[in-house]
């Protein structure tokens, strides 16, 4: 204790002398090393200002405003706010969001692309909440191509929102008035992607249905099993080389042909695909059904030539796949369904049995 007093006394004397002989004797606070004057701005170890209330974060509102979230997108989309932002602020208004990033590898495209990742808490009919991942895609006209195609430099061409697992997408803005943006963004976010909401059926042994996809002529759920993926070109849709699947289309009036209430024909036309022979009417299905055979090109001509040059032992029939296609529909509905099975793994009887096992729900048509 005596040692501590001995150390403190000299300091007290110094303070007394300083207070008497200094012009600061009028009562202004004296700075002592290790002591912060009252009302002085406090800084952290890096010299940054620290708020008077430690629980408050500096710049929180500004930083939040710089991030585009799903909540802010929903708020912006109400009452035409997104289109208004495009008109008033243009591309710069969206680049103010720090999470909006340029997408590379777009050199060959007439338009450039910016995107950002968004998350939405999806609630199922059973009340289960799970995060869904989305990508906001903003296409704009490049300065070097805009004028040639009648657009202003950096003019926003379109804005889409895509669910990343299924690739299901909805249009939020389009400069071309021939295309109409959705009027139900909230409904799109709550979309149910399960096939069971439409139908149930007996799947082939050892196969299961994968997640919803939107990569072919119709929405589909592809079969997954222990098969090896066949050789194919880069451009070929997975539905043309997978074991099979179930598809749902929304333009039955352009696909199915009814005569006197009977389903008599189909006209599903696809590039690099052909129907083989005439469709066959099936009995024993819950709705009217036709069985057809389709062949699909798995390579473009240049791709096939290049592949053969590297694998000369390949047989010619490897360039195509062959499928059983069963079309099911009703004359009074514009919804139709397709069951498709790869003939490499399944027989015609397999396709018929699967079609006859289908039971549709009330939401199917």
The pLDDT of residue 65 is 59
Cα–Cα distance measured from residue 84 to residue 325, given in angstroms and rounded to the nearest whole number: 46
Flag whether pLDDT at 16 surpasses 70. no
The pLDDT of residue 122 is 93
The pLDDT of residue 139 is 97
- Report the share of the chain in percent with pLDDT over 90: 70
Is pLDDT larger for residue 24 or for residue 207? 207
CA atoms 144, 148, 153, 154: torsion sign: negative
CA atoms lying within 13 Å on the CB side of residue 59: 5
The pLDDT of residue 126 is 80
The pLDDT of residue 62 is 53
DSSP characters over 140-172: EE-HHHHGGGT--TT-EEEEEEEETTT--EEEE
Query: In the block, which residue shows the tokens 């052909």?
Result: 274
Flag whether pLDDT at 1 surpasses 70. no
Binning pLDDT at 50, 70 and 90, where does residue 3 land? very low
Q: CB–CB of 293/268 below 8 Å? A: no
Kindly report, residue by residue over 38-69, the tens digit of the pLDDT: 444 444 444 444 444 444 444 444 555 589 99
The pLDDT of residue 215 is 67
Q: pTM to 2 decimals?
A: 0.69
The pLDDT of residue 108 is 80
Beta bridge partner(s), residue 113: 139
Binning pLDDT at 50, 70 and 90, where does residue 27 land? very low
Radius of gyration from C-alpha coordinates of the chain? 33
Q: What mean pLDDT do residues 307-327 have?
A: 95
Flag whether pLDDT at 207 surpasses 90. yes
Range 3-10 contact pairs with CB under 8 angstroms and sequence separation of 24 or more: none
Query: In the block, which residue shows the tokens 């069971």?
Result: 196
Beta-strand relationship, 111-123 and 129-141: antiparallel
Binning pLDDT at 50, 70 and 90, where does residue 79 land? confident
């Amino acid at each position: 204790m005596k040692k501590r007093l001995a150390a403190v006394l000299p300091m007290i004397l110094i303070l007394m002398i300083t207070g008497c002989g200094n012009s600061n004797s009028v009562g202004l606070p004296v700075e002592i090393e290790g002591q912060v004057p009252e009302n002085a701005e406090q800084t952290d170890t890096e010299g940054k200002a620290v708020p008077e209330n430690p629980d408050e974060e500096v710049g929180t509102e500004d930083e939040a405003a710089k991030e585009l979230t799903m909540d802010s997108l929903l708020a912006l989309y109400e009452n035409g706010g997104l289109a208004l932002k495009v008109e008033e602020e243009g591309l710069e208004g969206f680049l103010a969001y720090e999470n909006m990033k340029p997408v590379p590898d777009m050199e060959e495209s007439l338009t450039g692309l910016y995107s950002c990742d968004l998350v939405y808490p999806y609630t199922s009919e059973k009340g289960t909440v799970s995060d869904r991942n989305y990508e906001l895609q903003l296409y704009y006209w490049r300065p070097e191509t805009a004028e040639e195609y009648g657009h202003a430099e950096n003019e926003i061409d379109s804005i889409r929102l895509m669910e990343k697992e299924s690739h299901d997408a909805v249009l939020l803005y389009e400069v071309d008035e021939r295309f109409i943006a959705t009027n139900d963004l909230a409904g799109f976010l709550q979309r149910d992607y399960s096939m069971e909401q439409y139908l149930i059926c007996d799947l082939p042994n050892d196969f299961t249905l994968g997640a919803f996809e939107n990569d072919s002529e119709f929405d589909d759920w592809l079969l997954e099993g222990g098969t090896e993926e066949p050789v194919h070109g880069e451009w070929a849709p997975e539905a043309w080389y997978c074991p099979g699947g179930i598809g749902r289309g929304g333009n039955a009036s352009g696909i199915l042909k009814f005569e006197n209430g009977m389903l008599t024909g189909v006209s599903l036309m696809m590039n690099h695909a052909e129907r083989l022979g005439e469709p066959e009417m099936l009995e024993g299905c819950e709705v009217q059904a036709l069985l057809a055979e389709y062949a699909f090109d798995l390579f473009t001509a240049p791709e096939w030539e290049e592949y053969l040059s590297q694998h000369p032992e390949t047989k010619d029939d490897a360039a195509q796949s062959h499928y059983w296609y069963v079309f099911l529909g009703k004359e009074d509905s514009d919804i139709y369904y397709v069951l498709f099975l790869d003939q490499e793994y399944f027989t015609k009887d397999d396709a018929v049995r699967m079609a006859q096992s289908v039971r549709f729900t009330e939401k199917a048509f």
